[in-house]
Chain A
Amino acid sequence: MTSSRLRSRTTERTVVPAVAADELFKAYGDAPAVGPIDLVVPPGEALLLVGHNGSGKSTLLAMVAGLLEPSEGEARVFGEPPGSMAARAVTSYLPDTPVLYDDLSVREHLQYVSRLHGADDDPARLDGIMDRLGLLDRADQLPSQFSRGLRQRTAIAVGVCRPFGLLLVDEPFVGLDTAGRDALVELLREARSEGATMVVATHDPSILGWFDRTVELSDGEVVADHAPGDPLVMDTTVDEGDEGDEGDEGDEAD
């Protein structure tokens, strides 16, 4: 019995899983993209999702976030259907491409997203987040005028400024420089220490060390589920410019 199965069984007895996928399957036309997948992520766990381009990482994350609908099976977020009001309240999703308004400053983004989620928009708190991501000097500028990396930092700030119990992150390091990368890792670790569950999809193996568990996808299916200390062989020869594998979905969908 693998450690993950043991963990799942234990979790079922005690608490509602943060993420539960039951025969979760997604296809575009006749082309399967993900699954069927069974996956249980207990609350507070930090799970790393790895796999090649087109392996289904981004599609899986988007289904859990409620942005894509499963073709078959179902997913639950803290027992609620993804995309439901309750699930939206606890799920923060950082897509691989920053999605921001063209006509709001960084500060306005943070203020309004915080308030939409019922959090306070205390300037000191928001300034602190922007400061950690090196955005404080640009707080009143429009992200539409930023570089890719700065936009990515803004998207991260928007993703973490609101309360969340589940953080879904898709290819978080694309476009980030070393400082941005360090800031993000620090924010992720902090969120984890505060009890948040996180699922991070990446090609980058350098952050493997502090994750509780690594799930490897290939052709949309789970091919490996590793606990800490398990040997994990990752092919890291993917191109640097890769920005997630959901582009495959776009092709199929279109």
Chain B
Amino acid sequence: MEAPPPGAARALADLRRARRQNRMGERSWGELAYRVYVTALVTLLVGSSVVGWIGDESVAPSAVETFRAEAPAWIGIAVAVAVLLAVRTGARGGPLAIEAAELHLVLMAPVDRGAVLRRSATRSIVTSLGWGTVVGALAGDLAAQRLPEPDLAWAGAGALAGATTGGLVVGSALLLAGRRVPPLPATVLALVLVGWAIADTADVVPASPTALVGRMVVWPLSFAPVALVATGVAILLAVTGRALLRNLSIEQARRRSTLVGQLRFAVTQQDLRTVLLLRRQLADERSRPRPWVRTPSGALARRFPVLVRDLQSLARWPVVRIVRVLLLGAAVGLALRGAASGTTALVLVAGVAAFVAALDAIEPMTQDLDHPTRLGSYPVAEGVILLRHLAAPTALMALAGLVALAVAYLVDPHVQVLQLGAMVWLPASLAAVLGATVSVNTEEGTSSQSDDLIPPEVAGPRILLRLVIPPAIAVVGSVPVVVAHRAELRGDDPLAAAVPAVAAVLLLLALVAGWLRYRGELRDSIAAASGGART
């Protein structure tokens, strides 16, 4: 039997219609349109406000020329890394996340799987292109604050480059998933692309293919139609990937459908820890049975059990996690270098990248938090154990910080970069770790009974704060870089200006550490007081 039974296609269309009607049954089109309108308006207002608020000064003509010449290669690295991530996803059956019922009831029926999957693929492509366009346009608008030529030109070029990147990403993932390319050769191929892009920045090889997207970004300065080749490749990949989905591995799709379903639920619950764990499962990222290095034992382990436990965990990191943290470290270095030269918004990028890396670094602590009964059973205050858990992740983040410093110096080989980097290095590392620690500790308390008593007007902003404060702590660690740059613009000594900023950051971090230390006692006191009030 090679053809679907007669009427199957019609049944499938009816199924879609019935589901859509049932889903829409409780909502009116007017309500839906209003929601879309409000969301679009808020996004537009917030985006343009942030861009306008940052409003950095224009760069010198020589810097514009440097940007025009060098930016394509650097943007090429970012695009190549995005393709690498997409390739890894595709080799594991992504990016489609098929609903479990769709998989069991439709894909296991004698219907044309390709036709069923193409619908999901279209949604995936549209989403990817949409996000690429929005992010690209915002980045272009941001660049326009400092560069010559009209805002619209930069936003348009950014939007097209973003959409092209989105197409390259989703297309390569779909193609690999549909052709069932194993992870190893796919990853090697993508790594070659990343290596080429990196070598391109040093001008030791011809321009990398992904640098074409970068050339599109600088169109307002230098129009090069050849960049459209990248858009053509993106379209080709997306169209081919969508067309060849018939052979998608059902086993991988089934695994993804389970994990992605849980992942979506965790996201709606703002449960970052679960999101992280599920994402690792999706990426097949497991701890090594054998540690890379032997960890201390004997007297040292008895004297510092928490530190040694943390080192044992970190020593089992899989290669992919190590590479990810190092890459994030490099991204922090690049972003801070950009912030130090006047693009203030990049300090947010640096802070968020450090925060994401720190979420990995505090894994040993979160393992303890995942078992609250055990954590509470130790004859030591919970806050003390949390503080002891900070040492190993901070040391690890400091190593990633060295990578950041090295990258920043490579891009801008001036001694001042090293001096400023040395001042910010440890506070920024600690800030990232404390931000991540606050994040997992506030999640842990989300389901407390006291939350039930909070009115909705307070609960909303509280959730927002819980989401915003942890990465904000990580961002604060890099703020001295911006302070130094502002001082330089005024003609002051940037390093001298950074000293009080670093001191202020350290003070803030001490307060955060204090909160972590005494949080348990505070919570118990409040619970006792509210319990007493009720009785």
Contact = CB atoms under 8 A, between A and B. Distances in A.
Interface residues of A, number: 34
A68 interface: yes
B508 interface: no
A69 B14 contact: no
A185 interface: no
A102 B18 CA distance: 12
Nearest to A88: B110
Nearest to B7: A115
Contacts of B3: 85
Contacts of B524: none
A197 B18 CA distance: 33
A127 interface: no
Contacts of A83: 108, 250
A112 interface: yes
Contacts of B110: 85-86, 88-89, 116-118
Nearest to B249: A69
Interface string A188-219: 00000000000000000000000000000000
Nearest to B23: A103
B284 A113 contact: no
A93 B101 CA distance: 13
A99 interface: yes
A101 B105 contact: yes
Contact of A89 (B1, B255, B286): B1
Given A104-B18, A116-B8, A118-B6, A88 B109 contact: yes
B376 interface: no
Contacts of A69: 249-251
Contacts of A88: 108-110
A173 to B, nearest CB: 20
A230 interface: no
A99 B101 contact: yes
Given A118-B4, A142-B22, 17 more contacts: A86-B2, A88-B110, A100-B101, A101-B102, A101-B105, A103-B23, A104-B15, A104-B19, A104-B22, A109-B105, A112-B105, A115-B7, A115-B14, A116-B111, A117-B110, A118-B6, A118-B110
Interface of B: 1-8, 10-12, 14-15, 18-19, 22-23, 99-106, 108-111, 249-251, 254-255, 258-259, 281, 284, 286
17 contacts: A67-B251, A69-B251, A85-B2, A86-B2, A89-B1, A99-B100, A99-B105, A105-B22, A112-B14, A112-B18, A115-B10, A116-B5, A116-B110, A116-B111, A117-B8, A118-B5, A162-B109
Which 8 residue pairs spanning A and B have beta carbons closest together?
A118-B5, A115-B11, A89-B110, A86-B1, A116-B109, A254-B281, A99-B104, A103-B22
